[in-house]
Amino acid sequence: METVKALVVEAPGEVAIKQLTLDKLGSGNVLIKIAYSSINFKDMLALEPRGGIIRDYPMIPGIDLSGWVVASDDSKISVGQEVLVTGYGLGVNHPGGFAEYARVPADWLIPLPSGLSLKEAMVYGTAGVTAAMSVIELEQAGMSPQQEPRILLTGASGGVGSLALQFLVKAGYQNVQALIRKDYQASLVENLGASKILLASDLVSSGKPLEKQEFDYVLDTVGGEVLSRLLPKIAYGGAVTTCGNVGGLNLETTVFPFILRGIRLIGIDSVALDQKKRQKIWSLLAKEWKLSSNEAVRVVRLEDVVQVAQELKAGQHLGRTIVEIS
């Protein structure tokens, strides 16, 4: 092995598939032959001229990967072991998963949990960890199936949203309303278990700081104006998790939902998540919340990544797309 095929962002907006030498894979004490990666919103931003994700060029994007260890200087990591990596600086400030090989620090690795294949691990990827964290945080805030809560999931046809919807259904929640942008997204979320479908255009606001209490819990993947419009509609003692900014960076609100209804707004970040918490989440994804449906999953090649990223940018992407490398 003298060279490695990789998708490289040479400079802002300049993307090409190239053959690289191993010394271009960055620092780390474990070398991984990559089986699969996945395409996330952050990966789309990494390919954009003004995406604001990559600071140092050239860079191999891809914030997720799964594969086999081919070399290791760490006694806890053995050659041939199946592993996965999500988060940390992968694909942002450290060469990532859109390549045939990756070199990473051993501390970033998660041994592939029993019950998952390398392909299934990337169906989850960062999106799955984020979705699982969101559900867990809402349950810690008081949500439980026994209460039959009114739950709203925004961005329900996207990567995080489609997985979160399936996790909620798997966990026994029956009143999960799905918020989508376009009519053609409806059949997907309905098939994944949504009890009711709402269009973002139907989410009207009176402009008042407090409105009718329509939802007990909200799992938000969108941010921006959508989240701003939802906060006044949360029921007393309810909670909202938020993990995305596809709908905008700004949040307009008042203190009233927090001090008069006692609601909680919980931010979700999976990039710097504690390793023990990561392992617990992956164990959950491999067992209690393991999904059997492939309806919202597409498999593409490395050469297709740019096209899929454009679909993400245009809001035309559904579910999860994984990249078959080896």
H-type alpha helices, 103-158: 118-140
CA distance readout (Å), 270 to 101, 154, 190, 242 = 23, 18, 27, 12
Find tokens 């996330």 and name the residue.
Answer: 40
pLDDT at 1 over 70: no
Select from 290, 286, 316, 264 the least CA-distant residue to 134: 264
The residue ranking higher by pLDDT, 206 or 10, is: 10
- List all residues 6 or more positions away from 23 whose beta carbon is below 8 Å from its beta carbon: none
Q: Where are the alpha helices (DSSP H) in 66-117?
A: none
DSSP 98: S
Q: How far is CA 43 from the centre of its chain?
A: 11
What are the tens digits of pLDDT across the range 18-52? 999 999 999 999 999 999 999 999 999 999 998 88
Cα→Cα distances 234→87, 151, 211, 291, Å? 31, 10, 8, 29
The pLDDT tens digits of the residues spanning 100-111 come to: 999 999 999 999
**Which residue has tokens 């960076």?**
249
**Interstrand relation of 101-104 and 151-154 (parallel, antiparallel or unpaired):** unpaired
Cα torsion through 137, 276, 106, 21, rounded to 10: -10
Render pLDDT for 209-251 as a digit per residue (tens, 0 to 9): 999 999 999 999 999 999 999 999 999 999 999 999 888 899 9
The torsion angles phi and psi of 217, rounded to 5 degrees, stand at -140, 145
3-state secondary structure (DSSP) of residue 149: coil
53-94 pLDDT per residue, tens: 998 999 999 999 999 999 999 999 999 999 999 999 999 999
User: Percentage of the chain with pLDDT > 70?
Assistant: 100
DSSP for 4-20 reads EEEEEEEETTEEEEEEE
pLDDT digits (tens, 9 = 90+) for 114-149: 999 999 999 999 999 999 999 999 999 999 999 999
pLDDT of 2 > 90? The answer is no
Q: How far apart are CA 107 and CA 113, in angstroms?
A: 16
Distances in Å between the Cα of 320 and the Cα atoms of 38, 91, 277 are 8, 18, 23
Q: What's the pTM value of the predicted model, to 2 decimals?
A: 0.95
On the 0-12 / 13-18 / 19+ scale of CB atoms within 10 A, 75 is exposed
